[in-house]
Chains A and B, each alone.
Chain A
Amino acid sequence: MSEAAIAGGAVAADPKRLAVASQWQLMWWAFKRHRAAMIGLWITVILYVIAVVPGFFAVNDPAKQNARAAYHPPQALHLIDTAEDGSWSIRPYIHPYVLKRDPQTLASIFTPDTTKKVYLKLFGQGFEYKVLGLFTASTHLFASENPNQPLFFFGADRLGRCVYSRIMEGAQISLSVGLVGVLMSLSLGVLLGGISGYYGGRVDFVIQRVIEFVLSLPTIPIWLALAAALPQDWPAVLNYFMITVILSLTGWAQLARVVRGRFLSLRTEEFVTAARLDGASEGRIIFRHMLPSFASHIIASMTLAIPAMILAETSLSFLGLGLQPPTISWGVLLREAQNIRSIATAPWLFAPGAAVVLAVIALNFLGDGLRDAADPYNK
């Protein structure tokens, strides 16, 4: 009743605008009200931009080893440069670190040399990288003005490789595994869930039992077993592809259930009966009449499934059964932090873990907001 009053009043207030607001516009209005989801959206967009061109955001070649920089600690970034005469300007710089050896233990000791400054240059030139394997570039967001003085924002690992640059590089694989894996589970899930929900009866019974079987499998041991069965000498690309297939083999079941539920509830809607009586074919009923009604729900469930995929890839790679070095993913990077020594001497090796947490939380917020906004009519 009150709803009717609201709708009626709103139409009277601004008839033209309300009349033309499409479904996606309504969704966007509902989504914008969800602040956490908006933050999640921005972080997700930034992360995926990084995943497309990680080289642009990296400062050092992620594969380059530097014996003199082993376990180099993170360098503090100074933004305001104060000159000797007291005047100041915004010009980011860092103090270079000097390597000394403890005379007794021969352990390396890095101390900042505060007399020297290495300035950073926006859009400066640095190492060469490939953009999506298509063309090469050498422009970076940040570059050291002195090419001989490398920068280590997040420190370096035991081989002196830049952790920051490796996180940027790892984003590409870790984030795309989620996307590709979810797309694969989506096609399986929509197909099987759709058949199950639309036709019902015996087909539905069989598919439901299969879904229950898949969901009852303990995922980690199954992943481990399947990943262990992959030949070690396969090329990195094929290995990556197989890992996503393995992840999506268990991920489709949840999506299939969502799709089946939507089909079941839509099947009895009067507009579907109306379409059948109009003489529309089964395919047209499914794709033209039913699918658009829950496309938004599917997008929301997908967004919520991506973080699970990212975590799965990270876990597999962390356990050493997923992707293998020299391929760089966040899980592979975290393997460096597997032993007690790294916790003691180089805690910055956990930085890829922070990246995983950030990505997963951002995607969860985004998915939550999408789910809430998914049905602007049923408010």
Chain B
Amino acid sequence: MSALETTTRTRDDGAARSPVVLQVRDLTTHFPVRNGVVKAVDGVSFDVERGRTLCVVGESGSGKSVTARSILQIVDAPGRIVSGSMVLHRPDGSKVDLAKLNPRGREIRAVRGAEIAMIFQEPMSSLSPVHTVGDQIMEALRLHLDMSKAEARARCVELLRQVEIPNPDKAVDRYTFEFSGGMRQRVMIAMSLACNPSMLIADEPTTALDVTTQAEILDLIRRLQQQHGMAVMFITHDMGVVAEIADDVIVMYHGKVMEYGPVDQIFHAPKNDYTKMLIGSVLKLEQKAEIRLKRPPRDNAAPPVLEVRNLEMHFGKPGAPLKAVDDVSLKVFPGETLGIVGESGSGKTTMGRCLLRVYDPNGGEIDYRRADGEVVDIVKADKATLKQVRREIRMIFQDPVGSLNPRMTVAQIVGEPLLVNGIASGKELDERVADLLKQVGLEPAWRERYPHAFSGGQRQRIGIARAIALNPRVIVADEATSALDVSLRSQMLDLMMNLQDKLGLSYVFISHDIGVIRYMCDRVAVMYRGRVVETGATEQVCDAPAHAYTQALLSAIPRPDPRARTMHKRHRYAG
């Protein structure tokens, strides 16, 4: 405990200190709930220094966002700051303790936006859709700096130019829905810079963005920080981002600071067990899974279990269709894992859903080879055949919350495919369900509970149990680990690979995360704007990509090693 005490209070590095902007000591924020109190932030202490970036990292529920929100006193009800101090040092030498200010008072309002600015995760919902971009930025200028309308407009154009929005004098009069997600986040940053704040709090600002956009935003924040000399507090769950941008790191777990130190120490000499586990699970996903290393080489002579040829899926009007899937051809061999990687909007999810004919493709063929050697074209299959095929090709969904019916117990959810296909009922069904839960590492006694009583990782296991209930041959896993914390990801992937060996499954594994693909997949197909631009063995695609888009994509991914910062070397793909 005493060791922890020292790490929470001081950073033990000899580096010359920059002037402190914000000094947080023993911050405690509680959420009273029906049966007790949740200590979301429990005695957290740190310093934010001028010109440096402090990364707050932790898994969901670790209290990192609540810490950031406590600083500006915008914690959601019923949460409140119980104790601690947050001393803001102003450039003129005066100090103010933010914890003592009235959350609705004039003083804290003067701090928000003007001295400490904040940007949020969702660039879609944190900007108002009914005001122009210029109006929203000018509001801050006129409120805090008392500028005239013309001055504010000129400053606004200047700010938009700083965040590299093209044609800033025209963009001022545009509405937010005319911008893409990355551009909106730039607008948010411009807005936060409006009053030259001494500190910027960024709460997962790139989580909702694609990796290539993320790289640009991180680059922008870094450059602006150097220009303005701001202190940045950056909240994220992505260790790659931390390694790329942090000077100092706080690792949080269950509201407490586990470790606090310079970024190199956190990554290369972690002291705390939790930090070690976290770094370990990140590094584990940087290489091929151990389970796969042990496997004997696959027999390539077998005919493919699934063969997609010239698949087309269009949305919208027939005259000017949006080609979500455009002339895609793929092969999935028995027992292999085919990774589909791409950014949002690349059509990877749509393609995956076409394989089960959730959508009716506009053209092409999906030949499925059944166990007895018969080949069925899923695109043209009739109702009865489709029902048969859907028993053999199953799906694991991305969202562990939305894909489980909240009004059904786990036993009902897992047993549903067995029940509706008339395979088991009554006592036999109950036994089968208990067995399935055991296979995915869940306690069979929990089967009478509802999904909301389970954590995200457990829910995803329920989804896997439902998928394997019918003894399938192929499983389409759509971003199956994206909603999970990094420490759970490798566990989930290991489970899926163990089941693969046991049940002889083939996976079509859709993901935007190259790390997960590298860990899990034998071969990978890279999708970009509905087309497959590159297919090949995972090692080959990840280490020596042939296509320019794959190269750009890989160069934008932050590596979890602060000694190998590569972001500045990245290149863009203009296709």
Seen from chain A, the residues whose Cβ lies within 8 Å of a Cβ on chain B are 1-2, 4-11, 13-14, 17-20, 22-23, 29, 269-271, 273-281, 284, 289, 292-293, 377
Contacts and interface: CB of A to CB of B under 8 A. Distances in A.
Contact of A6 (B31, B391, B402): B31
A270 B35 contact: no
A257 to B, nearest CB: 23
A2 B67 CA distance: 10
Interface in B455-497: 455, 466
B208 to A, nearest CB: 14
B60 A278 contact: no
Contact of B397 (A8, A17, A29, A274): A274
A5 B38 CA distance: 7
Contacts of B403: 270-271, 273-274
12 contacts: A1-B61, A1-B64, A2-B65, A5-B255, A6-B38, A10-B38, A19-B446, A20-B449, A22-B450, A270-B403, A279-B420, A377-B406
A8 B408 CA distance: 21
Considering residues A4, A17, A23, A281, which has the most beta carbons from chain B within 10 angstroms of its beta carbon? Answer: A4
B449 A277 contact: no
Contact of B402 (A1, A13, A271): A271
Nearest to B357: A277
Nearest to B476: A277
A31 to B, nearest CB: 14
Contacts of A23: 406-407, 450
Contact of B466 (A20, A274, A284, A293): A274
Contacts of A22: 450
A30 B404 CA distance: 23
A312 B455 CA distance: 49
A273 B476 CA distance: 14
Contacts of A1: 60-61, 64-66
B66 A2 contact: yes
B271 interface: no
A279 B65 CA distance: 41
Contact of A277 (B38, B358, B402): B358
B466 to A, nearest CB: 7
Interface in B403-432: 403-408, 416-417, 420-421
Nearest to A289: B405
Given A278-B420, A281-B420, A377-B406, 19 more contacts: A2-B40, A5-B31, A5-B255, A7-B61, A9-B31, A18-B453, A23-B407, A29-B34, A271-B402, A273-B403, A274-B403, A274-B466, A276-B358, A277-B358, A278-B421, A279-B420, A279-B421, A289-B405, A377-B452
A271 B466 CA distance: 11
A2 B404 contact: no
Contact of B405 (A5, A10, A275, A281): A275
A11 B453 contact: yes
Contacts of A29: 34
B539 interface: no
Contacts of B387: 279
Given A270-B397, A277-B356, A9 B36 contact: yes
Contacts of A278: 416-417, 420-421, 466
Contacts of A281: 420
A263 to B, nearest CB: 15
B449 A19 contact: yes
Nearest to A281: B420
Contact of A5 (B36, B40, B455, B466): B40
A275 B450 CA distance: 17
B261 interface: no
B255 to A, nearest CB: 7
B33 interface: yes
